[in-house]
Amino acid sequence: MTQNNVQTPRRLAFELLIKTEKAKQYSNIALDKALEASALSDVDRRLASALFYGIIEKKLTLDYRISQLSQRPLSDIDAQTACAIRLGLYQLIFMEKIPPHAAINESVSLVSRKSSGFVNAILRSHTRSPMLSFPAPTKEPIEYLSTAYSVCPELCAKFTDTFGFERTESIFKAISVPVATTLRVNTLKITRDELAERITAPASTSISPHGLKVCGAVRNIYGFDDGLFFVQDEASQICVEALDARPDMTVMDICSCPGSKSFGAAISMENRGQILSYDLHENKLSLILEGARRLGIDIIKVEARDGRSPINELFGKADRVLCDVPCSGFGVLAKKPELRYKNPVDSASLPDIQLSILENACNYVRDGGSLVYSTCTVFPEENEQNVQRFLQKHKDFVLTPFSVGTLSVPSGYITLMPDTHGTDGFFIAKLTKRNDK
């Protein structure tokens, strides 16, 4: 039993961290539910969110620090006590504006009297010698990357095998910087410049012509209820621009949930034509319908479908097809911190699934029409290697150059990277079906 049960941002983060670790829930869903049920102020909600996400993101770094401060191995420390220590250490190491006495005392108050002395001793030991030291990168590069950037060793090895040590560290540094929220302006209702004048401290996206980077709770931003924008990373916006959807076209979005790319295509089409949005999970389709209503879009039709299952009557009917396939997600580590601890071996079967979806999706493209294949990962076997496998079988498709804003892609495909483009890690390939008639 903890010493008291008063709801505080630290207690909410603490209890939620324990719950999600046991239940293996997605962090964003678990946090949203907990915040909705709480009576915390907006300020306290922001603190709870920062602690919750931050501790998940830095878990291996915090555990490495615990191993340096404690004579007891982490495996011998019960889950609640370890979580309280992580909570305190995260504030002491990464949150400069929080006074050390508050970080320590609040963390100690979360555990039983039996454990409070141990938690207090570990945290105070850190304050006496606060410098972090990690394994030498030249001698133990994987250990260094894993503990310094809190990414599991298996994933660190995958990154270094693909990109080399220096580039991997560059990527990890980029995903360790707090990311702003990126909005896609609904130009059916307002221009980017007009919206920028009405919200607090926005910054225009550097590549996408329709994006704004902002801080703060999205629902509190001017224009949310009126459908003046929706949340969409710049990489996804670039993907939609590459699709080049136009008014009065027929567009198919094969794996569409939660719907942001369908929304972007509908806006590009000036809400004229039709978009057929499919997803394997029927329970998620309501997200698309709700979002479309808020944005004032009425050309999207939804249906539950496996992207590998053909719809014969639609073969050759689509002007544009978007094939944003399920992927390992290793391009969005900055936004989904639990993916830092996912073994890439668990994703080994994905390339074949992705290729099956792509090979089915290509059937819907009319002669002269285009297909965009995309993922939110950075590894070649899910990206350019899959495209090459596809092209070897489908000689009627060719890679097609495209450009978006200041970005030119003469090869027809690109992997956007956090350290060079300032976006999610994201792959885009544009393919056009030959029109030999």
Average pLDDT score over residue span 254-264: 96
Q: Which residues are the active-site residues?
A: 376
- Which stretch of 10-19, 33-42, 404-413 has the lowest confidence by average pLDDT? 33-42
At residue 128, the pLDDT reads 94
At residue 220, the pLDDT reads 86
Average pLDDT score over residue span 240-269: 97
- The model's pTM: 0.94
pLDDT band (50, 70, 90) for residue 5: low
Which CATH superfamily includes the segment(s) 235-433?
Vaccinia Virus protein VP39 (3.40.50.150)
Which helix (H) or strand (E) segment holds residue 166: the answer is helix 165-175
Which residues face 433 on adjacent strands?
397
Best CA proximity match to 319, nearest among 389, 262, 248:
248
**Mean pLDDT value across the chain:** 94
Neighbours of 122 (CB within 10 A): 23
Domain ranges of the chain: 9-128, 141-175, 235-433
pLDDT at 347 over 90: yes
d(CA 247, CA 269): 4
Best CA proximity match to 420, nearest among 179, 242, 238, 171:
171
What is the CATH code of the structural domain delimited by 9-128? 1.10.940.10
Q: What is the pLDDT of residues 277-313, one digit of tens each?
A: 999 989 889 999 999 999 999 999 999 999 999 999 9
Q: What is the pLDDT of residues 40-96, one digit of tens each?
A: 888 899 999 999 999 999 999 999 999 999 999 999 999 999 999 999 999 999 999
Which residues face 370 on adjacent strands?
320, 432
pLDDT band (50, 70, 90) for residue 359: very high
Helix %, strand %, coil % of the chain (to 5): 50, 15, 35
Q: What is the pLDDT of residues 305-342, one digit of tens each?
A: 999 999 999 999 999 999 999 999 999 999 999 999 99
